[in-house]
């Protein structure tokens, strides 16, 4: 149960002291409209009093009609009534106090929330939220109209559900047959030793030499020839600097913050403004990063994270012609970036990575059918060309995980299949790619319609080249003689690497 306790004052444009009985009657006659829902009483008016031009009212409620909702209704009905009958207007609504108590078996680890003065766990029974009604950061009627209290309740309920055991979902769907592996080595070490890759200057970043790059390109060629061309996907270029607008619509703004590489433009491009930075560097030969920090603006967004969200800007607010459907596109025009956990990792855990991203849009049936077509093609690639040990699992959908959520989607048929491969040297499984049905999340979020007004769904699939390489090399080793036959047909000749002394 949730309990609400709210006291607010209506400030009228004129004196109302002699209208006590008018208000009393008004409240008695309008309880249904204001305090009930489907004949169930949610809110009660505990008491009210009148002083000059001010009516102060005390509301208590459960969740049937939340007191904040009752207040909105009250204002509407009251201004119609009093305006019409007495030509008096409501100038302002002041919130005197507002407390919400959510019954819960445990508290939540939230210390501060906007508009909240205090949140704690009371008597081992309630999460008690006391709203700020005094300071500059106070909750006003405008926030009540914007449903801020309701969003706070949702946020706390989500937290409670997480504690209630909603974990990252993982459920095995299928596993390939056991294989004899050519290698039992760490793929990163193997490639480092042969000079195929070197560490970049940034954390989780690699510089790929000719051999490793050629391996990536071979993977891409296989996807192109075996999957993208036969299934008629066309190439696009998605932006790689993603604005907040995109992440607000894609849902990422709900939770991706700890993993973003933020992008800040200069406050101005006036060379004079940057003169001191240049001079300091030229004299000290150290980049004055703290000074730079002062001279750059707030982040306009971040580096590409999930790859497909910025595609949707192309379709935002548009209506798709029927002959366009299902729409099938892919992008491999740039890197993706994630601020990963610290420590030294190999190429299977990187902050800068390379991925082919496929997006398809269509009716629900089209979207599900396309997903099945892709699954067949992937199966063929992993079984007959890469010949790796792999498996699939039904997991928390990527779009929920990236919003900081757990569990599974409420939308039927929506979700993510993770493709995993075994790395024999440590006997662990790594995610090498995924394939998702995103239901109408993106078509709705970006307001995309079809000509015949059919509900549009979409799907996406991200093929991680570093992960494919880690899986392939860890199972087959670096000696290309021993690689699978069909793969060698694609790979042909190893390019000449860069040897140093």
3-state SS, 431-488, equals EEEEEEECCCHHHHHCCCEECCCCCCEEEEEEEEHHHHHHHHHHHHCCCHHHCCHHHH
* Shortest spacing between CB 420 and Zn ion, in angstroms: 18
Q: According to the binding rule CB under 6 A, does residue 144 interact with ligand SER? A: no
Identify whether 147 is a catalytic site residue: no
Residue 387: contacted member of Zn ion, ligand SER, none (CB under 5 to 8 Å, by partner type): none
The catalytic residue among 348, 434, 438, 466 is 434
* Binding footprint of Zn ion, residue count (CB under 5 A): 2
Name 196's Cβ contacts closer than 8 Å, sequence gap at least 6: 208, 209, 211, 212, 215, 478, 497
| Alpha-carbon torsion (380, 326, 408, 462), positive or negative | positive
* Nearer residue to ligand SER within complex by CB, 23 or 398: 398
Specify whether 338 is catalytic.
Answer: yes
Under the criterion CB under 6 A, does residue 357 sit at the interface with ligand SER? yes
Closest CB to Zn ion among residues 65, 304: 304
Annotated catalytic residue, options 162, 220, 340, 369: 340
Using the CB atoms, write b or e for 72-107: b if 16+ within 10 Å. Answer: bebbeebeebbeeeeebebeebebeebbbbbebeeb
Q: Quickly count: other Cβ atoms within 10 Å of residue 141's Cβ.
A: 17
Rounded to whole angstroms, the Cα distance separating 235 from 328 reads: 9
Strand partners, 43: 61
Examine residue 182 and tell whether it contacts ligand SER (CB under 6 A). Answer: no
Stretch that binds ligand SER, among 226-234, 301-309, 481-489, 490-498 (CB under 6 A): 301-309
Confirm or reject binding of residue 307 to ligand SER (CB under 6 A). yes
Is 467 designated active site? Answer: yes
434 binds, among Zn ion, ligand SER, none (CB under 5 to 8 A by kind): ligand SER
Question: Which residues in 369-408 contact ligand SER (CB under 6 A)?
Answer: 398
Contacts with ligand SER by CB under 6 A: the residue count is 8
Q: Which residue out of 349, 351, 420, 438 is catalytically annotated?
A: 349
User: For residues 297-326, which are near Zn ion according to CB under 5 A?
Assistant: 308
CB 313 within 8 A of CB 236: no
Stretch that binds ligand SER, among 50-58, 165-173, 300-308, 424-432 (CB under 6 A): 300-308
CB-nearest residue to ligand SER: 462
Which of 131, 353 has the CB closer to ligand SER?
353
What minimum distance in Å lies between the beta carbon of 261 and ligand SER?
15
336: β partners: 353
Q: Find the catalytic residue in 69, 185, 357, 466.
A: 357
* Tokens 């790859």 belong to residue: 307
User: Any contact of residue 347 with ligand SER (CB under 6 A)?
Assistant: no
Under rule CB under 5 A, which residues in 351-390 are in contact with Zn ion? none
Catalytic residue among 418, 420, 438, 466: 418
The residues, ordered by sequence, that sit 6+ positions from 491 with a Cβ below 8 Å of its Cβ are 214, 215, 218, 480, 483
Q: What are phi and psi of 496, to 5 degrees?
A: -75, 125
Residue 488, phi then psi, degrees to nearest 5: -60, -35
- Nearer to ligand SER (CB atom), residue 107 or residue 462: 462
Identify each DSSP E strand in 222-347 by its residue range: 234-235, 241-243, 262-263, 301-303, 319-320, 327-331, 335-337
Stretch 439-468 residues interacting with ligand SER (CB under 6 A): 460, 462
CB of 397 to Zn ion, least distance (A): 11
DSSP conformational letter for 383: I
CA–CA gap between residue 104 and residue 119 (Å, rounded): 13
Catalytic residue among 7, 338, 366, 387: 338
Closest distance of CB 306 from ligand SER, Å: 3
434 binds ligand SER (CB under 6 A): yes
Minimum gap (Å) between residue 340 Cβ and Zn ion? 19
Q: Which helix (H) or strand (E) holds 368?
A: helix 364-380
Could you tell me the sign of the dihedral formed by the alpha carbons of 59, 146, 248, 397, in that order? positive
Stretch that binds ligand SER, among 107-115, 225-233, 306-314, 340-348 (CB under 6 A): 306-314
Is-catalytic flag, 460? yes
Task: Find, among 199, 193, 184, the residue nearest to 350 by Cα.
Answer: 199
Q: Can you point out the beta strands (E) in 123-270?
A: 126-131, 170-175, 197-199, 206-208, 234-235, 241-243, 262-263
> Among residues 242, 308, 371, 421, which is the contact residue for ligand SER, using CB under 6 A?
308
Site residues, ligand SER (CB under 6 A):
306-308, 357, 398, 434, 460, 462
Which residues are catalytically annotated?
308, 338, 340, 349, 357, 418, 431, 434, 460, 467
Site residues, Zn ion (CB under 5 A):
308, 460
């Amino acid at each position: 149960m949730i309990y609400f306790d709210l006291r607010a004052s209506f400030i009228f444009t004129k004196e109302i002291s002699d209208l006590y009985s008018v208000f009393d009657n008004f409240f008695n006659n309008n309880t249904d409209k204001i305090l009930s829902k489907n004949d169930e009483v949610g809110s009660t008016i505990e008491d009210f009093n009148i002083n000059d031009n001010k009516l102060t009212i005390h509301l208590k409620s459960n969740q049937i009609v939340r007191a904040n909702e009752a207040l909105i209704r009250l204002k509407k009905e009251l201004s119609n009534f009093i305006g019409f009958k007495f030509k008096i207007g409501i100038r302002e609504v002041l919130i005197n106090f507002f407390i919400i108590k959510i019954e819960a078996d445990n508290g939540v680890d939230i210390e501060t929330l906007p508009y909240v003065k205090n949140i704690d766990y009371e008597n081992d029974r309630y999460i008690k939220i006391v709203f700020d009604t005094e300071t500059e950061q106070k909750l006003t009627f405008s926030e009540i109209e914007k449903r801020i209290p309701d969003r706070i309740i949702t946020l706390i309920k989500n937290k409670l559900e997480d504690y209630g055991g909603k974990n990252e979902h993982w459920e095995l769907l299928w596993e390939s047959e056991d294989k004899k592996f050519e290698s039992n080595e760490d793929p990163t070490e193997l490639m480092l030793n042969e000079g195929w890759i070197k560490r970049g200057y940034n954390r989780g970043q690699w510089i790929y030499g000719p051999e490793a790059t050629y391996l990536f390109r071979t993977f891409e060629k296989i996807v192109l020839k075996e999957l993208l061309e036969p299934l008629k996907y066309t190439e696009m270029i998605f932006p790689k600097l993603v604005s907040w607008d995109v992440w607000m619509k894609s849902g990422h703004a709900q939770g991706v913050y700890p993993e973003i590489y933020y992008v800040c433009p200069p406050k101005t491009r006036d060379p004079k403004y940057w003169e001191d930075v240049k001079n300091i560097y030229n004299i000290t030969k150290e980049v004055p990063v703290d000074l730079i920090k002062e001279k750059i603006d707030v982040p306009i967004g971040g580096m590409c994270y999930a790859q497909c969200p910025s595609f949707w800007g192309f379709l935002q607010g548009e209506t798709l012609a029927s002959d366009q459907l299902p729409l099938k596109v892919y992008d491999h025009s740039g890197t993706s970036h994630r601020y990963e956990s610290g420590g030294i990792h190999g190429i299977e855990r990187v902050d800068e990575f390379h991925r082919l991203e496929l997006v398809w849009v269509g009716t629900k049936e089209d979207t599900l059918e396309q997903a099945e077509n892709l699954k067949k093609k992937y199966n063929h690639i992993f079984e007959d060309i890469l010949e790796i040990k792999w498996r699939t699992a039904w997991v928390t959908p990527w779009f929920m995980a990236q919003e900081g959520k757990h569990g599974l989607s409420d939308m039927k048929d929506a979700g993510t299949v993770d493709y995993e491969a075994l790395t024999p040297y440590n006997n662990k499984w790594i995610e090498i790619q995924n394939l998702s049905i995103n239901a109408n999340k993106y078509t709705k979020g970006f307001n995309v319609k079809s000509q015949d007004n059919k509900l549009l769904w979409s799907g996406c699939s991200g093929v991680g080249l570093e992960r494919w390489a880690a899986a392939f090399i860890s199972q087959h080793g670096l000696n290309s003689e021993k690689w699978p036959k069909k793969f060698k047909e694609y790979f042909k000749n190893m390019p000449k690497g860069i040897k140093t002394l």
